[in-house]
Amino acid sequence: MSFIVNKNDRLTVSVEDLTHDGSGVAKVEGYPLFIPGALPGEEVDIVVGKTLKNYGFARLLHVVKPSPDRVKPPCHVFPECGGCQLQHLSYEGQLVQKRKMVRDVMDRIAKLPDVPVHPVKGMQDPWRYRNKSQIPFSERDGKIVSGFYRSRTHHIVDTDVCIIQSEEADALMTALKHELHGLGIEAYDEKTHRGMLRHLIVRKGRATGEIMVVLVTRKKKFPQKEAVIDIIRRVVPDVTSIMQNVNDQKTNVIFGEETILLYGKPVIVDSIGEIDFEISARSFYQINPVQTEVLYGQALEYAQLTGDEMVIDAYCGIGTISLFLAQKANEVYGVEIVPQAIEDAKRNAELNGITNAYFETGASEVVIPKWYAEGKRFDVLVVDPPRKGCDEELLKTILEYKPKRVVYVSCNPGTLARDLRILEDGGYRTQEVQPVDMFPHSAHVELVALMSRVDG
């Protein structure tokens, strides 16, 4: 098979677009080449690294003509670290490209070129926004290294600073890395399945300032445990909670099954808007609470609640959207397949004195028909599915029971567009789409779409 371009070819190309993972896209006689580090509007020198039937990959050698939106990345390990993909693009440029990404899938996949896609709602200060850090530790050349994984690898890029996570996380990562060996504690080695400390997890309540530190260890017996607690309390004097999670398995999964309280309380509290949430070591909670309030506020606006509506929150998780909706709805029914999440949702409802939100464990496509069979009738359905989008059976359930409005919250523009097309073909009309920038400097964008049923 002959290709238009071949491996090791050196070319000068014009970059037209960005992929969903932040790579530049150039076309040679219609053949796409994906180029990490290149930006739309640039002319670049590249070397082709790999060619497949329909596309290829290339390495950026030199930017001949830079984009006016190209900036110097402030992080000293960008782009080696895989945590951010777009620090070389101005924040204003990131928002423009993310809107373009959404517009493209609405046109190409959803076949909805006339549906408005609004400008992306970005952050005033797009740094230090992460309220949770998961930092791997390992051994290299007799030293402890910690930081973040290089993209698509388990090679730790050693660093003391990450400017999208909390300063407390930076300080703890640095202190533990430099002091553990002096206590005779080794970091975990994935290859040999030896060593003690696997991960450091730091969670911070943005509204409350409460901080939880979780040490993920290979063994339950923790040598020098008190000394490590002293280090943490010295670095973060106001720490609220210190936990140990035990993971003795040879796996890439971060958490094990057993979690032990070492100091303070087993939970911290944070607030999004008027709603408080208890967060445990393994609770799911949105990474960027500032933008979560924007995202859920948009979902609430699209739900158009007057106080009389019955609402379903499918994929309700720990009840974050449900509790937002319950402030304006008659009743909200949340469904989620993860039992622990439902327990968290019930506890969070109780914490806030919310009595009109009800939660049930199970698959949405099973539980929702049961609710209808019990005589309940719903006006609005909100979905916030994982990246793979809505389950096919749930989409069939929506089309069968026909709630007046569907508010679709999505972390994946492609699967959102696919599902909108299915619902459009079943009698709904997409009114508008609002993107929200939940993860500045990454290639990700979240969205809220409003759909209304067409009667008759």
Give the catalytic positions in this structure. 411
Phi-psi region of 104 (alpha: psi -120 to 50; beta: other; left: phi over 0): alpha
Q: Where are the alpha helices (DSSP H) in 180-237?
A: 225-235
* Number of neighbouring beta carbons within 10 Å of residue 267: 20
* Number of neighbouring beta carbons within 10 Å of residue 11: 15
User: Which residues lie closer than 8 Å to 392 by C-beta, 6 or more apart?
Assistant: none
Burial (CB count <10 Å: 0-12, 13-18, 19+), residue 45: middle
> Side by side, which strands form the sheet with 331-336?
357-361, 331-336, 310-314, 380-383, 405-410, 446-453, 428-436
- Contact status, residue 450 vs residue 431, Cβ threshold 8 Å: yes
Residues constituting the chain = 456
Which residues are 92's β-sheet partners?
none
| Gap between the terminal Cα atoms of the chain | 54
Taking every pair of Cα atoms in the chain, the longest distance, rounded to a whole number of angstroms, is 74
- β 446-453/428-436 pair status: antiparallel
Which residues are 145's β-sheet partners?
138
The letter for the amino acid at 306 is: T
* Number of neighbouring beta carbons within 10 Å of residue 211: 23
